[in-house]
Structure 1
Amino acid sequence: MSKSIRHQLFAALAGFTVLLCLCYTGLALVIAYVTEDMLVQRLLEREAAAVSQRWRQHGELTPSGSDLITVYGGYLALPQAVRAQVPPSAPRGEVFTTTGRHYHVLALDHVAAGQPQRVYLLADVAPVLVVSRLAQEVGGVVAGMALALIALALLLAYWLARRLVRPLQRLAQEARQLAPGSAVHFSARDRPDEIGFLARRLETTFAELQAVLQREQAFTRDVSHELRTPLTLMHNTLALANAQPLGGQEQAQLQQSTDEMRATIEVLFALARAEQLPGELVELRGCIEQCLLRLLDDHPWDASLLILELPERLEVLGNGQLTMLLINNCLANALFHGGPACRISITFAQGCLSIVNTVPAGQPRRVQGFAHGQNLLLRLAQAMRWDIAFHPGEREYRVAIMVVQ
């Protein structure tokens, strides 16, 4: 493609150059011939004025004072070659012959013995023709110079075509060499012209396309990875339901798997749309309070076990939907691993939000889906440019979230 653009540009410049040279050459020839004819015609007119003046003074025709111009008293006196091309009624004419003679004829009307009479001035201008002689004598030099100038113009057109198309060729080559997932950078992005604008737009487009592909791959991987455990649990529970009715524990497991799948799907869709969600100021304390109210509605937990140490207003830079999902999942994980009797402490200091839940001594460690939850929480925080860290312990589990204020 890039070569065809260069060739087309070179062909356009070369064609324009050759056409311009031919047009100017033709125009120069036309001007030279017209100037030559006007000069000869002017000489005839001056001689006609002199003949008329002598006729008025002496009453007779006198020979011309120029050796190029001959005065003829009638049409029949003109040479046969002239009479063959110039009719009697023509006031002037130009005659070309096969013998190399070139004539200009001018008719002059006057009155003789009370009768109108027409005389003719015939100029044999072959000896004074300059253009044709110039073409014969220096035509080769002029043609050589013209060819040399055309060749120089073609070289200049080729150089201009390469110079003008080279940034586009480099841009196409860099775009062709882009690998999936690699950093997008075009060398022409700092140019102030249209090519620089195109390079910047291509960078943005490629970066957005790679981000979309990465989100699609992550969504596909997460759906396969995160939903497999609850789906397997639900499938096994329903398979056992054919042998015996579902008991309270089995129904609770189904409800728990359904809730886990719903929460996971909400997180996955939020992460898939994370690049389109605009950053905004979020009231973090309000989000935490809403999440706590939802936690009390969905889980049997005593609110007196909560320790809340937060500023009256706590604005952070993030996204409201992602923030709610992050806090909800952190609190749900705290109850999942600490049990309904755990104490939950939520504090904020120096840009760090800490969520700590106690773990009863001797309680078997519950790890179902826990590693998967950490991965999703980490991605939620990264989508808002936050940092999150998990600190497990024997008596308590702490999640530290570094927010952007």
Structure 2
Amino acid sequence: MVKSIRQRLFAALAGFAVLLCLCYTGLALVIAYVTEDMLVQRLLEREAAAVGMRWQQHGKLTPSGSDLITVYGSYLDLPQTVRDHVPPSAPRGEVFTTTGQHYHVLALEMVAGGKPQRSYLLADVASVLVVSRLTREVGSVVAGVALALIALALLLAYWLARRLVLPLQRLAQEARQLAPGSAVHFSERDRPDEIGFLARRLETTFAELQAVLQREQAFTRDVSHELRTPLTLMHNTLALAHAQPLGGREQAQLQQSTDEMRATIDVLFALARAEQLPGEMVELRGCIEQCLLRLLDDHPWDTSLLSLDLPERLEVVGNPQLVMLLINNCLANALFHGGPDCRISIAFVQGCLSIDNTVQPGQPRRVHGFAHGQNLLLRLAQAMHWDIVFQSGVTRYRVAIVPAPAQ
């Protein structure tokens, strides 16, 4: 059976409390017995001083003035029970008997006629022992109080264990109830102690894990969605190549599909990487100029058809690689769908970058890769927290991009 942390903590606190009670009870008994022995020994020493003084005054042993203490002139005069437990050379001793007597013995060194003589004081202290009498008379009361204190200690241990472990149990319960894709929020995250730190780190870890899973799912979905069309086109073109040699049109289609797949893969990998990176300062005008130069290298197009209205410096917050891919795809789509004779206008007005291209009236609509391209452009903008809107018309197509402004 698996024990919870509260049960283990309660067992530890309860065991410590009971052990502490037992230790203090034993210590109290030891102190009481030692106090009794010290009191009896003090009485014997005072009586020994009195006997010695009378010996010096009268030259003989006189009876003790206490009914508890008896004076014996020699070792052989002591009761047999005492002699059985105390040797002649012992300066003092303590004897317990089975008949209820409790003796304390103290040896006295006397000088009689120039010769040393040993006498003994014997005290029967059974009638004055307090601890044993208290044990008999109020032992049940003391035991009841001890048990009550132990029960109180156990209750306190249970309360402490429950109070200390409750935040951890609540945190574990909330973590157990987390579902894939759900919002991550732990109720203990605002605590100033280690539990609050653990809750905040768990929130961050769960959020990062969900983001990784979402990126993986999005990447898998995008690969399946974006690459299906060019792969199908290439498969069909190659299938027809068995019947007849590829002509210039078919070769151009293969080249176009290959370029589209390469560009799509670049975008997908850039999305997978850039969604994990923070934004940075990007000079948007420089990116647009680089993309225009690349576009002119790849496509035959008259630059007189370009209209550019941008400020000298245009700093925004984003990812440099994603910005280049976004502008490249927008310009390539404009030229692809507008044709080689289209006019392209790029302007930045009131925080919005617009890319417009004309469409010749009566030109057949070219939809190859168009919807897929919109989806990828939207993903690129969302990855940088930008807004993008596509506006399609009969004679004009416009892409409006609102980048994150530099602070």
When normalised by structure 2's length, the TM-score is 0.98
Query: Is residue 48 of structure 2 the alignment partner of residue 48 of structure 1?
Result: yes
Question: Do 1:188 and 1:196's aligned partners in 2 also have CA atoms closer than 8 Å?
Answer: yes
The residue that corresponds to 1:259 in the other structure is: 259
Q: Cα deviations across residues 144-201 of structure 1 (Å, max 9, x unaligned)?
A: 0000110111011111111111111111111111111111111111111111111111
The residue that corresponds to 1:230 in the other structure is: 230
For 1:368 and 1:100, how far apart are their aligned partners in 2?
114
Question: Do 1:356 and 1:397's aligned partners in 2 also have CA atoms closer than 8 Å?
Answer: yes
Question: Do 2:354 and 2:401's aligned partners in 1 also have CA atoms closer than 8 Å?
Answer: yes
Amino acid at match of 1:289: E
Question: Do 1:285 and 1:313's aligned partners in 2 also have CA atoms closer than 8 Å?
Answer: yes
Q: SS of 2:189's equivalent?
A: helix
Amino acid at match of 1:26: G
For 2:74 and 2:89, how far apart are their aligned partners in 1?
12
The residue that corresponds to 1:197 in the other structure is: 197
The residue that corresponds to 1:161 in the other structure is: 161
In the TM superposition, residue 3 of structure 1 has moved relative to its aligned partner by 5.9
Report the identity percentage.
87
For 1:108 and 1:244, how far apart are their aligned partners in 2?
136
For 2:95 and 2:6, how far apart are their aligned partners in 1?
52
Q: Cα deviations across residues 283-316 of structure 1 (Å, max 9, x unaligned)?
A: 0000000000110111111111110100000000
The residue that corresponds to 1:30 in the other structure is: 30
In the TM superposition, residue 272 of structure 1 has moved relative to its aligned partner by 1.1
The residue that corresponds to 1:391 in the other structure is: 391
In the TM superposition, residue 2 of structure 1 has moved relative to its aligned partner by 9.8
Q: SS of 2:274's equivalent?
A: coil
Query: Is residue 117 of structure 2 the alignment partner of residue 109 of structure 1?
Result: no
The residue that corresponds to 1:319 in the other structure is: 319
Question: Do 1:329 and 1:377's aligned partners in 2 also have CA atoms closer than 8 Å?
Answer: yes
- Tell which deviates more after alignment, 269-278 or 256-265: 269-278
In the TM superposition, residue 274 of structure 1 has moved relative to its aligned partner by 2.4
Amino acid at match of 2:329: N
The residue that corresponds to 1:69 in the other structure is: 69
Structure 1 runs not aligned, ≥5 long: none
Q: SS of 1:84's equivalent?
A: helix
Question: Do 1:2 and 1:169's aligned partners in 2 also have CA atoms closer than 8 Å?
Answer: no
The residue that corresponds to 1:15 in the other structure is: 15
Q: Cα deviations across residues 104-138 of structure 1 (Å, max 9, x unaligned)?
A: 00001111112110000000001100010011100
Q: SS of 1:43's equivalent?
A: helix
Amino acid at match of 1:168: L
1:300-339 alignment runs, 5 A limit: 300-339=300-339
Amino acid at match of 2:357: N
For 1:366 and 1:184, how far apart are their aligned partners in 2?
44
The residue that corresponds to 1:280 in the other structure is: 280
Query: Is residue 181 of structure 2 the alignment partner of residue 181 of structure 1?
Result: yes
Amino acid at match of 1:246: L
In the TM superposition, residue 324 of structure 1 has moved relative to its aligned partner by 0.4
The residue that corresponds to 1:270 in the other structure is: 270
Amino acid at match of 2:245: P
Amino acid at match of 1:390: F
Greater than 3 Å deviation, 4+ residue runs: none
Question: Do 2:274 and 2:319's aligned partners in 1 also have CA atoms closer than 8 Å?
Answer: no
For 2:319 and 2:225, how far apart are their aligned partners in 1?
25
For 1:302 and 1:252, how far apart are their aligned partners in 2?
21
For 2:275 and 2:209, how far apart are their aligned partners in 1?
11
Q: Cα deviations across residues 349-371 of structure 1 (Å, max 9, x unaligned)?
A: 11100000010111100011111
For 1:116 and 1:402, how far apart are their aligned partners in 2?
118
For 2:256 and 2:342, how far apart are their aligned partners in 1?
19
Q: SS of 1:273's equivalent?
A: helix
Amino acid at match of 1:65: G
In the TM superposition, residue 64 of structure 1 has moved relative to its aligned partner by 0.7
The residue that corresponds to 1:128 in the other structure is: 128
User: How many residues matched?
Assistant: 405
Amino acid at match of 1:119: S
When normalised by structure 1's length, the TM-score is 0.99
Q: SS of 1:174's equivalent?
A: helix
For 1:259 and 1:341, how far apart are their aligned partners in 2?
22
* RMSD, aligned α-carbons: 1.0
For 1:207 and 1:273, how far apart are their aligned partners in 2?
17
The residue that corresponds to 1:348 in the other structure is: 348
Q: SS of 1:341's equivalent?
A: coil
The residue that corresponds to 1:100 in the other structure is: 100
